[in-house]
Amino acid sequence: VSLLNFRRHLVLALTSCLLWKTCDVSAAMDPKPNILLFVADDLGIGDIGCYGNGTIRTPNIDRLAREGVKLTQHIAAAPLCTPSRAAFLTGRYPIRSGMASSNRYRALQWNAGSGGLPANETTFARLLQKQGYTTGLIGKWHQGVNCESFNDHCHHPLNHGFDYFYGMPFTLLNNCQENKPPELDAALQAKLWLYSQIIALAVFTLTAGRLTGLISVSWKTVACFALVGCIFFISWYSSYGFVQYWNCILMRNHDITEQPMRLERTASLMLKEAVSFIKRNRHRPFLLFVSFLHVHTPLFTTTRFLRKSRHGLYGDNVEEMDWMVGKILDALDKEGLKNNTFTYFASDHGGQLEAQDGSAQLGGWNGIYKGGKGMGGWEGGIRVPGIFRWPGVLPAGIAIDEPTSLMDLYPTIVHLAGGTLPQDRVIDGRNLMPLLQGSVQQSEHEFLFHYCGSYLHAVRWHQKNSGAIWKAHYVTPVFQPPGAGACYDRGFCPCFGEGVTHHDPPLLFDLSRDPSEAKPLTAETEPFFHTVIEKIGRAIEEHRRTLTPVPEQLSFYNIMWKPWLQPCCGTFPFCWCDKEGDSTHSL
């Protein structure tokens, strides 16, 4: 049927060209494929069947792997969502765009912060727009919203090349669901509560002492203490006390549709929007970026999938996401677009090992790889699924064990769209099509640099003449408890300070022999130890020469809550709306 439709459209196009005497065969046979990108949030590489999980059911993602190419050494440019997604969108290490942090806040914290993906960064969506693509983003953004006013939308998806946006400008948090412990800056909130209680107790004590005559203090002093306490409490509670309203919102283009969002229908709305976008644009080339809110905490899962997996709430959430993938792929099939669509599935980084509720694991499984989300060097934080499908163009059912990066999507899809990469900046990604099609056997990447915030923690060297994948760790997090494999005491492993260990000489592994990074090599056990370390050291020097100073988007000032930047569907601070109503059906 699809072949007959293609022939019919081709005849109509040629006839039209002949009638107007401007026939151009290349216009009649537009070779540009549709681009469909799936990116999960916090999904571990060990969480899906085609990467070895035999207990969580992911038949639709597995089908993509059977019908396409699976990458087994696909690497995120950062172990946290904001910088990783910035690199994905721009094809550049986040440190180049200012999306790498030198402080402990490594991701955007508020919709009302002023930091975000700079307007001078060129996303793949913007380049595909220029090639005639209709571009859409459904789901999570987390690259900022405003700069100077509550509606300037300088960081908004529509200001970065997307024609249509429906989703969260921020990210899911426990704060978005009632009766969940706070996730946003939980340790700081606990301290602020404690200080507020101490001030309140001091005011109560002074008041009681003044009334009973036990303390000689003027009412003016008591009033001053009370005023300071009130100002202190309001200064922090006005933001942290209303996270659900400030951060947990849904937008359609520039308009807020839910504030706060209702999680029980969010998945249904996202699916409906993705399918609708495909239907609306079936007759022209499109880019659809489905940026899942799954499988980030609080793991809100609809009733249909609750208690269905063998891995608790986390497994339920993964299986719901896989079902959504299947429904979107079904929409492609229904419109006859499968064979003309370049489809990709990945995760923005590894699963979070520290996400727990008592004995229940709420974060992903990273397979045999050490570490997880937040860890800039260890494989578990940065090695993610990478699956490509394009029937008739890419081979089916093969696996490639070559170093690749999420940044490679940028030059790859720009190439497929017939676009040209920006010449005024460094693009760190590489076009994957020769590797995916089998015309070359090795990745173009010789070195990959693994950052934790703005701190370089590790470097990977693909020694192509030997097949070795050397990896040198210059900084590693201190696991707590010792040997636990994660930072359970902190919730996240830090990038600097007392929570890390610096290594000189660096820890060295050959991932081709030791992918779990279990046994560091030494000069005694590896004859080429010093040669490898020197080679990597020279690569770091060359890499740093390509870096130029840029404003840090995740500075303390840029990530702090600013009420004048708060997106609000009412009159601030009365921000509440539900424009979706009950128009959507449950899953």
- Known catalytic residues? 81, 142
Measured between alpha carbons, how far is residue 401 from residues 181, 438, 447 in Å? 40, 12, 15
Q: State the helix-helix crossing angle for 81-90 and 409-416, rounded to 10 degrees.
A: 30
Please give the angle made by the CA atoms of 336, 338 and 343, to the nearest 5 degrees.
150
Looking only at the bridges linking them, the beta strands covering 455-463 and 34-40 are unpaired
Q: Is 192 exposed, middle or buried (0-12, 13-18, 19+ CB in 10 A)?
A: middle
Contacts of 381 (CB under 8 A, 6+ apart): 76, 79, 349, 350, 366, 371, 372, 373, 374, 375
Distance of CA 171 to the CA centre of its chain: 9
Task: Select from 488, 508, 436, 561 the least CA-distant residue to 70.
Answer: 436
Distance CA 491, CA 480 (A): 10
Coil, strand, or helix at residue 450? Answer: strand
How deeply is 418 buried, as exposed, middle or buried, from its count of CB atoms within 10 A (0-12, 13-18, 19+)? Answer: middle
For the chain, how far is it from start to end, CA to CA, in angstroms? Answer: 30
Cβ-count burial 78-107 (b if 16+ within 10 Å, e if not) = bbbbbbbbbbbbbbbbbbbbbbbbbeebbb
Distance CA(315)–CA(324), nearest Å, equals 14
Ramachandran region of residue 491, left (φ > 0), alpha (ψ -120 to 50) or beta? left
DSSP secondary structure letter of residue 487:
B
Q: What are residue 574's DSSP bridge partners?
A: 571
Return d(Cα 376, Cα 493) in angstroms, integer.
9
What's phi and psi for 182, nearest 5 deg?
-60, 140
Coil vs helix vs strand at 324 = helix
How many CB atoms sit inside 10 A of residue 392's CB?
9
Please, which residues have CB within 8 angstroms of residue 34's CB and are 6 or more apart in sequence? 285, 286, 287, 288, 337, 340, 341, 342
Residue with tokens 């993509």: 64
76 neighbors 408 (Cβ within 8 angstroms) = no
